Chains A and B, each alone.
Chain A
Amino acid sequence: MVRLLLFSLVLTLSSPALAAETLTIYSGRNEKLVGPLLKKFTEKTGIGVKVRYGETPQLAATLLEEGAKTPADVFFAQDAGALGALAKSGQLEALPKETLDKVDARFRSPQGVWVGTSGRARVVAYNTKKVKANALPKSILGFTDAKWKGRLGWAPTNASFQSFVTALRLLKGDEAATQWLKGIQANAPRVYKNNSAVIEALGRGEIDAGFVNHYYLFSAKKNKADLPVANHFVAAGDPGALVNVAGVAILKGTKNADAAKKLAAYLLDSEAQAYFAQETYEFPLVAGVKMAEGLPALDKVGSPDLDLSKLDDLRGTVKLLQDTGVL
């Protein structure tokens, strides 16, 4: 037995020979979603990749803990707030201008240290058997109406929800955000762990409407095509129309800066952008890429005008969520 264990130790420590140049990537994006894309990158450029997959916030915390000694070259995050937190601690390297310029200024770091690779819109998902599309409010603020009592679901511990509340604070002020949270609280929403759980609950008929990101519905429908759930996009410019991004950044002090820059550029070329659109049902951020069926154009969604890197300022949001008893 001991010999067996030692053998496994040796086996595991001696990882197979890797490509001449190998990037170490921390990916807060799921392996199933981005694994094939990273493989294509290796095929195309000959640059190998070693990927640590995990939850975006946990990887961000790990990177903050590792500091300058991190073995990571690249951080591929699911949320702009995580990238903002690393930018704030000074751990990110500037990206080439031509990579940054491929993306609308709204969807990249103002300091040029991270760039969005795909868009993720906030929506209100609803059960089509219980709610008519035209009965849904045009603004996220409309859901505080008492007629929604006992019919709503949300995932307030989820990073994407908190990003949205931060956006609400930045756009309308803390007072309005407090009023909204109190209003929704008064409607006794059901609390879920994450967006998938909200969609599940909508499918079961546990709730009538829930605040989620737009693409969860698509993956749920892949499993169950007849799920009676649809996405409702609120009016353009509304805080509820926030488009957050998944994005990429290069860690300062990397020895593979060139390869890392190639990866960032690759994630914004038309092949990768089309992949995001068709395989993960996200919004491509580079113009001229075909969208998945059933999605409005990105400029129709009308994300409110906001510096996404400010979404890292979450202590105030969490405090607000706690003060209102949401968390």
Chain B
Amino acid sequence: MRRRAPGGLWVAGVAMAALALVPAVYLCVRAAEADAEAWGLLFRDRTWGLLGRTLGLAAAVTGCAALLALPLAWLTTRTDLPGRRLWTVLLCVPLAVPTFVSGYVLLAAFGVGGALEEPLTRWGLPVPPVYGFPGALLALTVSTYPYFFLALRAGLLSQDPAWLEGARSLGLTPARAFFRITVPLLRPAFASGALLVGLYVLSDFGAVALVQYDAFSRAIYVQYEGAYDRSYAALLGLALVSVTVGVLALELWLRGRAGYHRSAKGAARAVAPVSLRGWRVPALLLCGAVVAVGVALPVGVLVYWGVQGLSVESGPMLGPAWNSVSASMMGAVAAVVGALPLAFLAVRYPSRLTVALERVSYAGYALPPIVLALSLVFLGVQAVPFLYGTLVMLVLAYVVRFLPQAVGVVRASLLQLNPHLPEAAASLGQPPSAVLRRVTAPLLRPGLLAGAALVFLTAMKELPATLLLAPIGFETLATRVWGATAEGRFAEAAAPALLLMAVSTLGVGLLVSQEGRSSPG
């Protein structure tokens, strides 16, 4: 059934897509200034080699993160695992660890002469390889699996139990029902997670630089950092945008056109939890191991730094903490609100144009954050000088940067929402606003909250845009940590970094506690 989307939805969707295109437009403007020499540099074998290495890493990290996140998401939503809420929160925390901390942690723990090298060797255990490809794979998997985790959780929470019950009643064992029904139905969630993780890896600079893995984003950084060469950097950036377009097209092609919501009538409700019985201990061990590497290890290293420098004055932190939370919250709410029209258009009114609009929101996601920040400087100075230097500009930057995270998760849960439910409400005479508030929104809640949690966590640690676009003197916990580590004063970085992680944990805890209220039913 094809219907025309309301005009307001179109306006909102087109506006968001236009905003998301700012980085690409900026790159085109700068690339137009490139001379023949820069073009020559672009089409060198080396460029392709770098691209190949980077894509290989992105694929490997995406696969590993998905394999890690699926059991974790299932355990925390569908089983009687003790302490599910707590595990959920802890398993999200790695998103809030700044990359420059997690990378350092990896080296400090497992690097040559690192804290864990000697004890591990003494117990006859292998020391994980930290440099090059394995190191990059490990560091990036640990810091990105929560993208999958949150998306898959939202998917599992909004999946209709009737599917699974039907399969079970037809005689499928729980395990077979899981792989034949639950997992295939999670395809939208996998797709959104894969895009977020894969494109994030393309954009990452911090982790690959620390473990000495040569990747494409590093080439772009070098141009800005060393050469002050904006036109050549823009060409490289556009190459990355083209790769993003290719990845998006591939994902669209793989995704197909299947429907994921149920079509039968009846109220949605929660699945009866699976009893883990004897599997309880291995399940706890798995969660514990992931939390140990992703949370306990960085906290341990930070505490170690902090203890070494107890005498170090790190200054009052309430102001920066409040700045971090308020700016990140505003960014999270704005990104989720901005994601709604794009997701609605693509899912409810699918056409080439609406799907294209939704895809466009990813255009800048694979770009190194500094490029995005500079494109917002460009937009601010050229188009909205009265906003430049205000907090609005920073929130706008967070929206442009993190819109895909919100779109991905919201879209995935919208796909699982049966359109007949809001339609039925509308046919009963409810005005559209009431339908949205009383039917659609509650059903979408897990997705909206997961999207907001993602944006909140990643905005908390965001750096280049915060440094360049925040009002002058607007200090956040992330800029405080950066200020200390930039000159190697690690002891001073410990307190704000720990606070950053603690506040992020609280924020996600808050969101997860809201999630409980809204389990379908």
Q: Which of B10-18, B161-169, B226-234, B268-276 makes up part of the contact surface?
A: B226-234
Name which of A30, A62, A216 has the most chain B CB atoms within 10 A of its CB.
A62
CA–CA, A6 to B333, complex, Å? 13
Taken together as a complex, chains A and B put the C-alpha atoms of A8 and B395 apart, in Å, by 13
Q: How distant is the Cα of A192 from the Cα of B208 in the complex, in angstroms?
A: 11
Distance, CA A83 to CA B221, complexed state (A): 19
Q: What separation, in Å, do the CA atoms of A327 and B471 have in the docked complex?
A: 35
Q: Given the interface contacts A82-B228, A200-B488, A204-B112, does A54 sit within 8 Å of B468 by beta carbon?
A: yes
Total number of residue pairs linking A and B with CB closer than 8 Å: 156
- Docked pose: A201 CA to B492 CA in angstroms: 20
B226 and A314: CB pair below 8 A? yes
> Closest approach, in angstroms, between the C-beta of A308 and any C-beta of chain B?
15
Smallest distance from the beta carbon of A61 to chain B beta carbons, Å? 5
Contacts A66-B381, A317-B227 given; indicate if A32 touches B468 (C-beta within 8 A): no
Interface residues of A in 12-26 (CB under 8 A from B): 12-13, 15, 24
- Contact residues, A49-103 vs B (CB, 8 A): 50-55, 57-62, 64-67, 69-71, 81-82, 85
0/1 interface trace, chain A 194-216, chain B, CB 8 Å (1 if under) = 00110111001110000000001
Q: Tell yes or no: A172 within 8 A of B by CB.
A: no
Closest to A71 in B: B389
Given contacts A12-B471, A54-B467, A58-B464, contact A65 B374 (CB under 8 A): yes
Within 464-483 of B, Cβ neighbours of A (below 8 Å) are at 464, 467-468, 471-474, 479, 483
A318 interfacial contact with B, CB 8 Å: yes
Query: What is the number of residues of chain B that contact chain A, defined by CB distance less than 8 Å?
Result: 61
- Inside 8 A of B71's CB, which chain A residues have their CB? none
Residues A66 and B377 in contact, CB atoms below 8 Å apart? yes
Q: Across the interface, do A65 and B377 meet the contact criterion of CB distance under 8 Å? A: yes
- Interface SS of B by simple majority: helix
A12 B391 Cβ-Cβ under 8 A: yes
A residues 227-266 in Cβ contact with B at 8 Å: none
Please tell me if A312 contacts chain B, counting CB pairs below 8 Å: yes
Q: Does B390 contact A (CB under 8 A)?
A: yes
Q: Kindly list chain B residues whose C-beta atoms are within 8 Å of the C-beta of A317.
A: 226-227
- Which of A13, A33, A59 has a CB less than 8 Å from the CB of B391? A13
Indicate the member of B222, B309, B471 with the most A CB atoms within 10 Å.
B222
What mask results when residues 199 to 217 of chain B are scored 1 for a CB within 8 Å of chain A, else 0? 0000000000110101000
A9 contacts the other chain (CB 8 A): yes
Nearest neighbor of A69 in chain B, beta-carbon distance:
B381
Report if B489 contacts A (CB, 8 A): yes
Q: Which of B80-88, B290-298, B322-330 contacts its partner? A: B322-330
Tell me how far the C-beta of A253 lies from the nearest C-beta in chain B, rounded to whole angstroms. 13
Q: Are B487 and A32 in contact (CB under 8 A)?
A: yes
A196 touches B487 (CB 8 A): yes
Q: Any chain B CB within 8 A of the CB of A145?
A: no
Known: A24-B472, A30-B487. A191 touches B326 (CB 8 A): no
Provided the pairs A61-B228, A81-B228, A327-B218 are in contact, do residues A318 and B223 lie with their beta carbons within 8 angstroms?
yes
Quick one: which of B111, B326, B467, B488 contacts A216, CB cutoff 8 A?
B488
**In angstroms, how far is the closest chain A Cβ from the Cβ of B83?**
27
Task: Check A322 against B227 for contact (C-beta < 8 Å).
Answer: no
Would B226 and A162 count as touching, CB distance under 8 A?
yes
Taking CB atoms, residues of chain A closer than 8 Å to B326 are 4-5, 8-9, 12
Contact B230 A61 (CB under 8 A): yes
B414 to chain A, nearest CB (A): 24
A40 within 8 A of B: no
Mask, B236-247, CB within 8 Å of A = 1, is 000000000000
Does chain A have a CB within 8 A of B113?
yes
Inter-chain contacts of A204 with B (CB < 8 A): 111-114
Q: Which chain A residues (149-190) contact chain B, with CB distance < 8 Å?
A: 157-159, 162, 190
> Is the C-beta of A315 less than 8 angstroms from some C-beta in chain B?
yes
Please, which residues of chain A bring their CB within 8 A of the CB of B374?
Answer: 61-62, 65
Contacts of A290 in B (CB 8 A): none
Q: Say yes or no for B219: interface residue by CB 8 A criterion.
A: yes
| Minimum Cβ distance to chain B for residue A134 (Å) | 26
Is B232 a contact partner of A30 (Cβ separation < 8 A)? no
C-alpha spacing A4/B113, complex, angstroms? 48
Chain B residues closer than 8 Å to A1, beta-carbon distance? 329
Flag if B209 contacts A314 (CB, 8 Å). no
A-side contacts of B230, CB under 8 Å: 61, 64-65
For A58, give its contact among B209, B224, B323, B484 (CB under 8 Å): B224
Proximity string of chain B (153-167) to chain A, C-beta cutoff 8 Å, 1 when within and 0 when not: 000000000000000
B242 CB to closest chain A CB (Å) equals 20
- Chain A residues with Cβ below 8 Å from B44 are 322
Cα distance A61–B469 in the bound complex, in angstroms: 13
* Residues of A with C-beta under 8 A to B430: none
Residues A62 and B468 in contact in the complex (CB < 8 Å), given A5-B329, A318-B223:
yes
Q: Is the CB of B113 within 8 A of A50?
A: no
B41 & A30 in contact (Cβ 8 Å cutoff): no
Give the complex CA separation of A54 and B373 in angstroms.
12
Is A219 an interface position by the 8 A CB rule?
A: yes
A157 engages B472 (CB within 8 Å): no
Asked whether B385 is an interface residue with its Cβ less than 8 Å from the other chain, the reply is yes
Bound: A64/B46 CA distance, A: 28
Q: How far is the CA of A319 from the CA of B223 in the complex (A)?
A: 10
Min Cβ gap A282→B in Å is: 12
Of B222, B308, B373, which contacts A223 at CB under 8 A?
Answer: B308
Residues of A within 8 A of B486 (CB): 30, 55
A220 within 8 A of B: yes
Q: How far is the CB of A274 from chain B (nearest CB, A)?
A: 20
| B212 contacts A190, C-beta separation under 8 Å | yes
CA distance A318 to B111 in the complex (A): 29
Contacts of B111 in A (CB 8 A): 204, 206
Are B488 and A32 in contact, CB atoms less than 8 angstroms apart? no
Q: Are A52 and B472 in contact (CB under 8 A)?
A: yes
- Tell me which residues from 323 to 378 in chain B have a Cβ below 8 Å from any Cβ of chain A: 323, 326, 329-330, 333, 370, 373-374, 377-378
Q: Is the Cβ of B490 less than 8 Å from the Cβ of A69?
A: no
A220 proximity list for chain B (CB < 8 A)? 488
Nearest residue (CB) in A for B212 is A191
Does A104 reach chain B (CB closer than 8 Å)?
no
Q: Which of B440-479 contact A (CB under 8 A)?
A: 464, 467-468, 471-474, 479
Task: Evaluate contact between B487 and A33: CB separation under 8 angstroms.
Answer: yes
Whether A271 sits at the interface, judged by CB under 8 Å, is no
**Complex CA distance for A249 and B79, rounded to whole angstroms:** 63
In the complex, what residues of A have CB within 8 A of residue B490's CB?
Answer: 223
Give A10's nearest chain B residue, CB to CB.
Answer: B391
A193 CB–B CB distance under 8 Å: yes
Taking CB as reference atom, which chain B residue is nearest A70? B381
A-B contact pairs, 13 of them (CB 8 A): A9-B391, A54-B467, A57-B224, A57-B228, A61-B374, A69-B381, A71-B389, A206-B111, A314-B226, A314-B229, A315-B227, A319-B41, A327-B219
Beyond contacts A13-B390, A61-B224, A65-B377: 8 other A-B pairs, Cβ-Cβ < 8 A, are A54-B467, A67-B381, A157-B218, A157-B226, A162-B227, A219-B488, A315-B37, A319-B41
Closest 3 CB pairs of A and B: A204-B113, A196-B488, A85-B228
